[in-house]
Amino acid sequence: MDDYWKELQGKRLHDPLTKNQVSPIPQILVQGPLIVGAGPSGLAVAACLKQKGIQSLILERAECIASLWQFKTYDRLRLHLPKPFCQLPFMPFPSHFPTYPTKQQFLSYLKAYADYFKLKTVFNSTVIRAEWDERCGFWKVKSVKDQKVIVEYFCKWLIVATGENAEEIIPQIEGLEIFEGPVVHTSSYKTGEVFHGKKVLVIGCGNSGMEVCLDLCNFNASPHLVVRNSVHILPHEILGRSTFGLSMCLLRWLPMRIVDQFLLLVSRLMLGDTSKLGLHRPKLGPLQLKNLSGKTPVLDVGTFAKIKTGKIKVRRGVTRLTRHAAEFVDGSLENFDAVILATGYKSNVPSWLKERHMFDEKDGMPRKEFPNGWKGECGLYAVGFTKRGLLGASMDAKRIAEDIELCLEN
């Protein structure tokens, strides 16, 4: 690699566009892979590389690892899946942690993970552009350090670990900008305490929207949940076992279609007919839908009981907002004190990665379906884009480390 670097510097020295230019931009040659993003996915792939004796460098735009978990999650959050399905490679959760670790326990686990593997991270470093330089055979990655200093990195392998949840999705709702009460995305929601006694419109019925409604109820707020599309709600546990864990076990022996039928039957017995309360199920089963579209079923942690008792009211789609109210698709108009947007997140890869083959320019996700979306061309990789949570990220992290090891051996 040193030869490549000397060649690059020589080309820059004799390039008529740059030879007379005194560039103030620091340039750094990264001997190993460069990873963009220090969330769980970035940490996982860095650790897998470290296990193979390959040192990587992580660039992270925030001041800490796992910034989404640190700053953009609500206080009551727990992992929705049992800890064996959420642990990163080569390090299980502590045995004294509960089956579903809390947010703070998960963060402490991630810090211990980064410390144990001695992962090298540059914080407060926002990547603004990355592109393959055909002339010298390097990825050229430009970042802004501490919001003011531009640094240019050169590397043979670039690993995109910014994930599916890099930026908030703000829906286009007529009148959203004129509503006079608080309008909060779940990334800024911490606790229902500030909404005590308020009437709150929650837009979005995924796991976050459902759990925020439950949290609001616990603080004597009055949540109204907007459900625009069909949704699968499953019990969090079945016969004392995690629904997800039980599903994974059954899939070893039975076709996905049969497991889906079992899940729907048990859900009907435990929860009843959800459509009577305005929660219509999709035509595809929960596992088939997840496999085809990445849409995750809601694992109920107590919200559905509140819907049954009427403490959480289910509403159809919103057509527009006024200064103090929301108008629904049925024509009704109702006043609200606040609006919470549980509308999810999206990838931000197209805003900084300048390539058109691996990532879709519209949604910022790999074009190839799982399990083939982890590898691109010219040493480009992706981790944390499987729509299969931490388990999927760990699978891709291992594949990437193995592939780079093979590159180094050849």
Write out pLDDT tens, residues 166-215. Answer: 999 999 999 999 999 999 999 999 999 999 999 999 999 999 999 999 99
In this structure, CATH architecture of domain 27-166+347-409: 3-Layer(bba) Sandwich (3.50)
Q: What is the topology classification, in CATH, of domain 169-341?
A: FAD/NAD(P)-binding domain (3.50.50)
| pLDDT value for 206 | 93
pLDDT for the residue numbered 17: 43
Parse the chain into domains and list their residue ranges: 27-166+347-409, 169-341
Beta bridge partners of 200: 223, 338
CA distance 338 to 202: 9
Q: Which of the residues in the chain have pLDDT under 50?
A: 17-22
Residue-wise pLDDT for 1-17, tens only, equals: 556 556 655 655 555 54
Residue 409: the pLDDT is 87
pLDDT of residue 294: 84
pLDDT of residue 11: 57
pTM across the whole model = 0.92
Cα dihedral 78→79→84→85 (10° resolution) = 170
